[in-house]
Structure 1
Amino acid sequence: MRKLFTLLLIPVSFFSQDIEITQPDFRDVELANKHSDIIKIYAWYDSLGKNTLIMTADRNCGDMRDEYCDLRAYHYTGKNKLLWDIKDYAEDQYGMFLNDIEFSDVDSDGIVEISILYQLGADDIYSVKLIMHENGKKYAIRGKTGFDYRDRCVYDYDMFGRNSFEYAKNSFRNHALGLFSDAYNCYSD
């Protein structure tokens, strides 16, 4: 029985470490027909089966009208099942900027975690967010970063507000904080 159990574990461990993320052409993704203003599409297979992430944004804000006014992400599994979505909107005329999208399997469970980092506004000090999802569960870090009028670093964040990391696995918490800090901590150069 022990040998059978070991044999069952090996494929899952191997699979969870070798998840390939692709960026298919919009025309090759049937779900893309449901959305407008698509900026990125990602696809992969994991323990949930086939996955598609569609990112959309309305680019009509900012002085040059080239900043995003909103940012939306839709994660589908299988053919058309929406697992989760996020929607965020610019709070002012400066719009928002997508910094990074990262795919990981931090806990090696064969299910990809998606981390989306973005900023709102374009002042010297601006709001920043990291939204992380795994299998329908949402986690968020919200903060501020930049330099004040005396050219001093401002770096502040909250992991324990709405959509908290409070009950998240330690591996998720550490991974997300590392991503957030790498992207936004002006104290480290």
Structure 2
Amino acid sequence: MVKTTKKLKMKKLIILFFLPVSIISQEIDFFEPNLRDVPLARKYKNILNVYSWFDSLGKNTLIITARDGCGDGYDKCDLRAYHYTGNSNLLWDIKDYEKGLGIELDQIELTDIDDDDIAEISILYTIRGRSISTVKLIMHEKGKKYAIRGKTGYDYNDECVYEYDMYGKNSFESAKSSFRGHALGLYSDMYNCYSD
């Protein structure tokens, strides 16, 4: 009976340990405005999405663009993201380009993991390959960039390939552990072919 009680207490302790992380990891309320209502959007072509939200930085606008004709065998493709605060202050941008089969935007997530009233923006996308694709998660908070880069797909033997590096360029090494855990979970949920 004592062992069962200890196990039960341990399970409760583990649940209580992880509970604060799930409470803190809150999504940011955002909206997708009409392009005519976003003066910043007028200077961009090939807009995929525009997101707006408010946090302690004030008004935020995220504009995602991709050159026409991306993917499906075309020679060139790009994906760009621009984060503005206020009316026209560019906080950061992402520009990725690939000569090949194209780039596919997979997911955008706005969260406030560290509960500091400043959104973290996670952008996940695939640079398509014939069987193995390059995949990336780029996270920004307060102008700081973190990245997970890797590969996913099935090789010629129909074996799952799932690789990632979060400690290379724009490393998560200096990031808060809550950022690392959340980003790796998001990346794995999107790209881990072992979980299919």
TM range (shorter): 0.7 to 0.9
State how far apart, in whole Å, the 2-side matches of 1:39 and 1:171 are.
Answer: 30
Of the candidates 142, 158, 168, which is equivalent to residue 151 of structure 1?
158
Q: Compared with structure 1, are the counterparts of its residues 24 and 167 closer, same or farther at alpha carbon in structure 2 (3 Å cutoff)?
A: same
Aligned mate of 2:78, from 60, 70, 76: 70
The 1:157–1:64 alpha-carbon spacing in structure 2 relative to 1, beyond 3 Å, is: closer
Whichever of the two has the greater Rg, that structure is 2
1:172 paired with 2:173, answer: no
Quick one: distance in 1 between partners of 2:55 and 2:168?
Answer: 30
Partner residue in 2 for 1:120: 127
Alignment of 1:27 with 2:51, yes or no, is no
* Identical amino acids, percent of aligned pairs: 64
TM-score, with length taken from structure 2: 0.83
- Paired residue for 2:69? 60
Rounded to whole Å, the distance in 1 between the matches of 2:151 and 2:91 is 29
Structure 1 consecutive aligned stretches of length 4 or more whose deviation exceeds 6 Å: none
Choose from 83, 89, 113 the match for 1:81: 89
Comparing both structures, which one devotes a greater share of its residues to helix? 2
Count the aligned residue pairs.
172
Unaligned runs of 5+ in 2: 1-24
- 1:91-110 alpha-carbon deviations (Å, 9 max, x no partner): 32x01111000110011110
CA distance in 1, matches of 2:157, 2:58: 51
Cα distance, 1:68–1:96 mapped onto 2, change above 3 Å: farther
